[in-house]
Structure 1
Amino acid sequence: MIDGLKPYPGYKDSGVAWLGEVPGHWEVRRNGRLFSQRNDTGFPDLPILEVSLRSGVCVRDFDASSRKQVMRDRAMYKRALRGDITYNKMRMWQGAVGVAPVDGLISPAYVVARPLAGTEPSYFVYLYRTAVYVDEVDNFSRGIVKDRNRLYWERFKQIPTPYPPAVEQAAIVRFLDYADRRIRRSIRTKQKLIKLLEEQKQAIIHRAATRGLDPSVRLKPSGVEWLGEVPEHWVVSPVRRLISFATSGSRGWAEFYSDEGDIFLQSGNLGRSMALNLSFIQRVRPPDGAEGERTRVECDDLLLCITGALTGNVVHVADELPAPSYVNQHVALIRPNRAAVIPRYLAYAFHSQIGRIQFKSVEYDGTKQGLGLDDVKSALIPIPTLSEQSAICAKLDATLDRLAASLESVQREIALLHEYRTRLIADVVTGKLDVREAALLLPDESEESEPLNEADPEREDVAEDNLDTLPEETLA
């Protein structure tokens, strides 16, 4: 049904550069003719709503939120009625907009837009989140720098917007909702496959790091309850006996940031597959002297994330880096003693349930997750002979390379589905494809509540997803 879509029979110039031609019977209206601003306050008993870059507007679950917020006077919060459009004026240029699913309260820093007669809000949210419209939003936003751009109501209502007839808006929403559910269902299936492959990967590593490669080896109690039995000739050693050096980066290196220079490795560079992710690099010109040398990375070092959401991610620096490299304060630099342990074997141990169980058990509570260097040094690792360590690493490398190829293939398929979804939505809401007939033939379906895992696990420094924190100017 989607593959059979065609353009409209006739088009006309919209008079708007970014929009180009639109179907001949469509109009172009400014947002002020489609919405009016709602500034109702004084409804403290309504639930709090949040605006997300990823999923639009939803009721905030304070119990599940990792970001705790002390609510100020709820009477200050704006009321949004079900069906209103709500956007974060500080992040509208990133697509932080959605339709209120229920009557609720929204931050005073946000804008609530009440749809006028003939306006289907879901159609316009689909439109407002497209790349071409977001670019136009950016043009209408004002701020000292781009990251501080804000789209105030007076500017929002001036933006020219395609306006199909109301019945056609509803048909477009019906079609896109249907297509979106199918695309998401396919993505969700592939995400579940990725989870199974990751679980298989962990099982393979854990068995090799606790039993070795000989299934007939005699076992002995390890003396560690959670570890169980290990081969009788292995020893269980704390990390401090296996390394020659451990440190973490210094604070305050922001003053040394530059567009060129050496590499400053951060937690986001530590991927979940024991390899560095250098797709985004912060360059730095480090200070002279011991402070710079202390945190300089060498080949065969291990890098371990010790704070934040990526705590426990480990990388083995197997090859020379493209430039001198240093770590920030969120990363531990660990230099194995090669006479005691093969660096890659220790990385596999950290990466396995051996490391994860111990690191999780000692993470301190408080404002953020984290490990101390003493926590890392105290972790217990089952250690075979060096020759066995080498054989285990070779076996794991070969086996996991095949698994990695499968994972990469599935992840590529997911990326293509996301790209297809983005392109389809943009083509439909701007009138490049006619879905009127297709929408009439669609079966009725219920909404799906299971969310996609759309967060990028390799980046913790991307723009925050929940954007409901009050800016300073609105706080009492």
Structure 2
Amino acid sequence: MELVKMQRYESYRDSGVDWIGIVPTHWSVTRLGSLFEERRTKVSDEDFPPLSVTKNGILPQLDSAAKTKDGDNRKLVKAGDFVINSRSDRKGSSGVSDRNGSVSLINIVLKPRNVLPKFCNYVLKSNAFIEEYYRVGRGIVADLWTTRYDEMRTMMLVIPPSQEQTAIANFLDQKTAQIDEAIAIKERQIELLKERKQIIIQKAVTQGLNPNVPMKDSEVEWIGKVPKHWIVSKIGMYSKVFNGSTPNREISRYWLNGTIPWISSGKVNDFIVNEPSEYISESALRECSLRVFPKGTIIIGIVGQGKTRGTTARLNLDTTINQNVAGIIPSKFLSSDFLHLYLIQAYSQIRNQGQGSNQEALNCSIVSSFPVVIPAMEEQQKIIEFIENQSLLIEQSISIQAEQIEKLKEYKTTLINSAVTGKIKVTDEN
């Protein structure tokens, strides 16, 4: 997408405001408080539908969200009002509401008086304004601060005549929609590339690389047919599967000055585990029945409702593991990398093996009995090399798309900032 080539205004003057810089001579520089009226009316979300203040604007709150029962403890919002979250940890959560409703008290609600609501939406959501808005706030704690209306109302804004406000808002509506569409297309391309990668892995580790090889029924429904010379077996027949544990944290000698790597279940999301979560002591290893799993072990998350259960990673160090992870130590007939790739494509199948009354879970027995296909070691290595080469090409394509998305987002930010501060000239003809 080519950058829009825009003209500049005929003459400029210094706005006297650092974050705004120069502005068109005929634009006004005025305090925010003269353009908006703070709406402070308190209401109940039982009378006025609750709204969420997000980075994507003001949206209806989910029906599943709990309603309050302690009276009028929310702020009234009317269609056309601008709402912004005052806390720095919600930076960018703001927008003009297209409906009546209510928001939590942490938000500031502004009723536009002398400015077009659609234009003010772009001004007050511009990156330049947002940074300045939180800069003038006051600290709550070291890394959290809030901006009250008393600070906000003194901020300076630059405002063009009403006709130009309309032209700028319409221009930005059109251009940002085009940019958002381009971003959505590239995000979809990334998803398709990821799907392609999964298909390549699934086909290679279950069907091999030779499309003309004789096939046989694996007798496993989700695997289907496999090369006739491959072995169809169980993980436990070609690997050893063990659980881990967590030393008692109340016993300080188990953790103080530890030298033995120990990992938690979150490490299964690393794909390749290069660093431990923590270190434990020699006494913890002896007294807590912990096993040191060798480099090359495949670890798998065995509990959890999130994505962790069934997710696998390969250890690139000798380490102990906790009880929410199982370690799979392949035999000499099964490549660690091949098994890892196989389990990646079988994620949904092994995840769904989980069982338990309170929390769906896997265990060492379930993992051991999970079906696996095993080519000869030489063929495993060829499959690994093929997948690595194909994955590299796909990841390079994904990186290119991701870089282009970032450039589009940067361009969108620059375009909005430039338009609402008069750095580019926008007219009805644009």
TM-score class, shorter:
0.7 to 0.9
Residues 1:434 and 2:422 aligned together: no
How do residues 233-248 of structure 1 correspond to structure 2 at under 5 angstroms?
Answer: 233-238=230-235, 242-243=239-240, 245-247=242-244
Cα distance, 1:14 vs. partner? 1.5
Per-residue displacement from partner, 1:441-473 (whole Å, max 9, x unpaired)? 35xxxxxxxxxxxxxxxxxxxxxxxxxxxxxxx
Matching residue within 99, 103, 122 for 1:102: 99
Structure whose residues are more often strand by fraction = 2
Q: Percent identity?
A: 25
In structure 2, what is the Cα distance between the partners aligned to 1:250 and 1:8? 69
- Structure 1 residues without counterparts, runs of 5 or longer: 63-67, 257-261, 443-476
In structure 2, what is the Cα distance between the partners aligned to 1:286 and 1:213? 42
SS of the aligned residue for 2:138 comes to coil
Residues 1:341 and 2:320 aligned together: no
In structure 1, what is the Cα distance between the partners aligned to 2:135 and 2:214? 70
Per-residue displacement from partner, 1:338-365 (whole Å, max 9, x unpaired)? 424212112211221x223332564889
Residues 1:401 and 2:392 aligned together: yes
The residue number in structure 1 matching 2:258 is none
Question: TM-score if structure 1 supplies the norm length?
Answer: 0.73
Per-residue displacement from partner, 1:194-239 (whole Å, max 9, x unpaired)? 2222222211111112112232344343333333333343223136
The residue number in structure 1 matching 2:351 is 359
In structure 1, what is the Cα distance between the partners aligned to 2:249 and 2:429? 61
Q: Which has the higher contact order (CA 8 A, sep 6+)?
A: 1
Q: From the superposition, tell whether residues 43 and 71 of structure 1 become closer, same or farther in structure 2 (CA, over 3 Å).
A: closer
In structure 2, what is the Cα distance between the partners aligned to 1:342 and 1:181? 49
How do residues 40-55 of structure 1 correspond to structure 2 at under 5 angstroms?
Answer: 40=41, 41-42=43-44, 44-53=46-55, 55=56
Which one is further off, 341-350 or 381-390?
A: 381-390
The residue number in structure 2 matching 1:455 is none
Q: From the superposition, tell whether residues 211 and 127 of structure 1 become closer, same or farther in structure 2 (CA, over 3 Å).
A: same
Cα distance, 1:413 vs. partner? 1.7
Residues 1:270 and 2:269 aligned together: yes
Is the Cα–Cα contact under 8 Å of residues 241 and 368 in structure 2 kept in the other structure?
no
Matching residue within 156, 159, 170 for 2:155: 159
Cα distance, 1:316 vs. partner? 3.7
Per-residue displacement from partner, 1:120-170 (whole Å, max 9, x unpaired)? 233333333333323222222223325431222222222222222232222
Question: TM-score if structure 2 supplies the norm length?
Answer: 0.80
The residue number in structure 2 matching 1:422 is 413
The residue number in structure 2 matching 1:145 is 141
Amino acid at match of 1:142: R
Amino acid at match of 2:385: A
Is the Cα–Cα contact under 8 Å of residues 300 and 343 in structure 1 kept in the other structure?
yes
Is the Cα–Cα contact under 8 Å of residues 93 and 141 in structure 1 kept in the other structure?
no
Q: From the superposition, tell whether residues 189 and 287 of structure 1 become closer, same or farther in structure 2 (CA, over 3 Å).
A: same
SS of the aligned residue for 1:270 comes to helix
In structure 2, what is the Cα distance between the partners aligned to 1:249 and 1:77? 45
Cα distance, 1:430 vs. partner? 2.1
Residues 1:211 and 2:213 aligned together: no
Structure with higher Rg: it is: 2
SS of the aligned residue for 1:300 comes to coil
Q: From the superposition, tell whether residues 363 and 412 of structure 1 become closer, same or farther in structure 2 (CA, over 3 Å).
A: farther
Residues 1:25 and 2:15 aligned together: no
The residue number in structure 2 matching 1:392 is 383
Is the Cα–Cα contact under 8 Å of residues 8 and 423 in structure 2 kept in the other structure?
yes
Cα distance, 1:183 vs. partner? 0.9
Is the Cα–Cα contact under 8 Å of residues 34 and 115 in structure 1 kept in the other structure?
yes
SS of the aligned residue for 2:109 comes to strand
Is the Cα–Cα contact under 8 Å of residues 58 and 95 in structure 2 kept in the other structure?
yes
Cα distance, 1:81 vs. partner? 1.1
In structure 1, what is the Cα distance between the partners aligned to 2:26 and 2:386? 65
Root-mean-square deviation (CA, aligned residues, Å) is 3.9
